[in-house]
Amino acid sequence: MSETREAEPLSPRPSQWGPSCPKCQAPSRFTTSILDLKNDRPVQIYRCDRCREEIWN
């Protein structure tokens, strides 16, 4: 009955990590944000840490 937990490698900071990769389920890392001129809103671009897949959010 221990509540002690090791530091989890998959507990990232929300500001730097994106959604899980649809291909390999690895966490993605925030790359940059651009302005979508069609919708006039910012789009965050993440890149999978494992397979380098780009994920647009």
Per CB under 5 A, residues contacting Zn ion are: 21, 23-24, 26, 48, 50-51, 53
Question: Computed from CA positions of residues 56, 44, 34, 30, in that sequence, does the dihedral angle turn out positive or negative?
Answer: negative
Angle at Cα 27 formed by Cα 23 and Cα 31, nearest 5°? 100
- 24 vs 34, beta carbon nearer Zn ion: 24
CA end-to-end distance (rounded Å), the chain? 40
19 vs 35, which CB is nearer to Zn ion?
A: 19
Beta carbon of residue 53, minimum distance to Zn ion (angstroms, whole number) = 5
Q: Which is nearer to Zn ion, 21 or 30 (CB)?
A: 21
